[in-house]
Chain A
Amino acid sequence: MIALKTLNRRTDALVVGGGIAGLQAALDLADQGFKALIVERQPSIGGHMIALSKVFPTLDCASCITTPKMSAAVHHPKIELLVNTEVQSLESTGAGQRATVTRQPTYVDNDKCIGCRLCEYACEVEYPDPFEQGLGALRAIAIPFANAIPQVAVLNPAYCTTCGLCARACPTGAIDYTQEAVTFTIDAGAVILATGFSLNSLNLKPQFHAAQSRNIISPLTMERLLAPHAPYGRVLRPSDGKIPQSIAFIHCAGSRDQTLGVPYCSRVCCMYFIKQAMLLSGALPLADLTLYYIDIRAFGKGYEQFYQNARAMGINFVRGKVLRIEPLADGDLLVHVEATEAAEHCYRKVRHDLVVLAQGMVPPSGGPALVPVRRATDGFFDLPEATDPSGTNLPGVFAAGTAAGPKDIVDTITDAGAAAMAAGRYLQRRRRENSAPVGEAGTRRRVHLEPTMDAVGAN
């Protein structure tokens, strides 16, 4: 890894994470006149939301409402975007915050790439597509997904056989095999942490045998099966391509369980399961759809009505506890459930083609410690002041969206707006302090509030 001082930057606000929270926060700051720099570790912005099918409770197409925000952020004159770049650490400098970031090589010069995909078509190697949760195939050099922003190719060295076909096919000479990881720093007046969430493992409950069946899937996999550009083009089960006729949804499979270390509710699973069942009733009109739940948490505006509509559509809701899932030889799954809706609890075994587990929402894995920002007991960023819902324990560092705990898109966007407002107020206060006459004790501090985002050279 090389450290390139020429890449060091200064900005008013650093936004860590280019999911919907980070995009909204950056747009709100930029519209207030502040320069915002978004750092996203994936090759595209959009976060989890760009991979969803439709969103509850409106059933709007997720990519149709995310793409305009992605595009607005990338074209905003006050927003700069760095993808494939991860924040490694954060330190207070007195004048603001300094982030150390590492940009991974993509082996493609983004300034030359025109997104024509000729390199992708020339490449011969395919691997399980991470955007499609492994269901589809992606070539070793490819545009990450159809509506990725930026629309540039990325080469995956873990699969590349160094045949050189991509460089031979590229009409603009964009392939650059000499790229290496580079580390540099970003000085910012304020930081918004919008690092989002990840889902805990499907295999946490051994009695569910998820490791033994391709047909026990994650809710994100179901989102991709239902998406307009679905990897299979329709809903099929992954073990053998069968059109499923009976699908089970198991609520709270990774949340509300002390033994899993996730005692809290992940807040969105009840609603996304109801949404997925509704979408499936359109895609597979004959399919039997059953939701096994402890209680339904339909807390938001219009959510209770959404739930009642699902019941009226004939979707089965079974209150009870799933004890075990038994994979059968033909790929089907036998769900053992203790149903509790009747006065007398009854034990049932129900056969399904496909089972979706509501994994718990947890802080993103493999991420940096982002010290010294304090975490709450659930592992998400701690927001200690009830009257300052975005402020962390560090002055000038704010958290937005699911980085501070599970929430839906509406709350994430509201949260991001609040964090942008708090960061804007903080930057203005510092600006006033900075321009005020030096006090008796000579306490005026130098802060970089009108910096340039151009490379600032060795410093």
Chain B
Amino acid sequence: MATKPLTTEQKQALALFRKRLGGVSKEKHERLKHQVTLRKAIRDFLARQPATIPEIASALARPADEVLWQVMGMKKYGRVREAGDSGWYARYGLIERETEAAAGEV
């Protein structure tokens, strides 16, 4: 994705914005870190074979509702697709991507 460096004015505006928010809380950082780590684990697991939500949840020892929410975020932003059903559950697989230039890299 084409990005450009921030201008001095934008940097100043961002610093002011951060100050107005009272800084960025530890909780926000932890949340993002957790999202990035869990999604990487999900990607690594799905790289082996498509799986259902309960299969991913049990392999990663995370609650199934949380895994479902993360997988749906990955699906919305183009990292995961449905790959058929297994019993009463859908299976999800990784989308093969030639470049990382397409949307949503989380």
Contact = CB atoms under 8 A, between A and B. Distances in A.
Contacts of B47: none
B9 to A, nearest CB: 10
Contacts of A168: 3-6
Q: Which of B5, B6, B73 has the most C-beta atoms of chain A within 10 angstroms of its own C-beta?
A: B73
Contact of A125 (B14, B35, B76): B35
Q: Which of A121, A136, A243 has the most C-beta atoms of chain B within 10 angstroms of its own C-beta?
A: A121
Contacts of B5: 168
Contacts of B75: 233
A237 to B, nearest CB: 9
Q: Is the interface of B mostly helix, strand, loop or mixed?
A: helix
B7 to A, nearest CB: 9
B32 A233 contact: no
B8 interface: no
Interface in B11-34: 11, 13-14, 16-18, 20-21, 24, 28-29, 31-32
Given A118-B1, A240-B53, A240-B64, A161 B32 contact: yes
B95 interface: no
Given A121-B103, A239-B64, A242-B89, A178 B72 contact: no
A81 to B, nearest CB: 26
A245 B36 CA distance: 33
Interface in A111-139: 117-118, 121-122, 124-126, 128, 135-137, 139
A117 B78 CA distance: 14
B44 interface: no
A234 B70 CA distance: 16
Given A124-B105, A137-B73, A177 B65 contact: no
B84 interface: no
Interface residues of A, number: 42
Given A240-B53, A243-B89, A167 B6 contact: yes
B68 A243 contact: no
Contacts of A160: 21
A241 B64 contact: yes
Nearest to B103: A121
A161 B85 contact: no
Given A159-B28, A243-B90, A176 B13 contact: yes
Contacts of B52: 241
Contacts of B16: 177-178
Q: Is the interface of A mostly helix, strand, loop or mixed?
A: loop
Interface residues of B, number: 46
Interface in B74-106: 75-77, 82, 85, 88-90, 103-106
A125 B6 contact: no
A327 interface: no
Contacts of B3: 122, 165, 168-169
B46 interface: no
Interface in A222-262: 231-234, 236, 238-243, 245
A285 B85 CA distance: 16
Contact of B82 (A171, A214, A233): A233
Interface string A359-394: 000000000000000000000000000000000000
Nearest to A169: B3
Contacts of A165: 3
Contact of B14 (A121, A177, A180, A239): A177
A36 to B, nearest CB: 34
Contact of A136 (B10, B17, B20, B73): B73
A124 B89 contact: no
Interface of B: 1-6, 10-11, 13-14, 16-18, 20-21, 24, 28-29, 31-32, 35-36, 52-54, 57, 64-65, 68-73, 75-77, 82, 85, 88-90, 103-106
9 pairs of A and B residues whose beta carbons are closest in the complex: A137-B73, A241-B53, A177-B17, A240-B64, A168-B3, A121-B103, A177-B13, A162-B18, A241-B68
15 contacts: A122-B3, A124-B32, A125-B35, A128-B69, A135-B69, A139-B77, A161-B24, A161-B28, A161-B29, A162-B18, A169-B2, A171-B2, A232-B68, A238-B65, A241-B52
Given A137-B73, A177-B13, A241-B71, 5 more contacts: A126-B35, A137-B77, A233-B75, A236-B68, A242-B88
Interface of A: 107, 117-118, 121-122, 124-126, 128, 135-137, 139, 157, 159-162, 164-165, 167-169, 171, 175-178, 180, 214, 231-234, 236, 238-243, 245
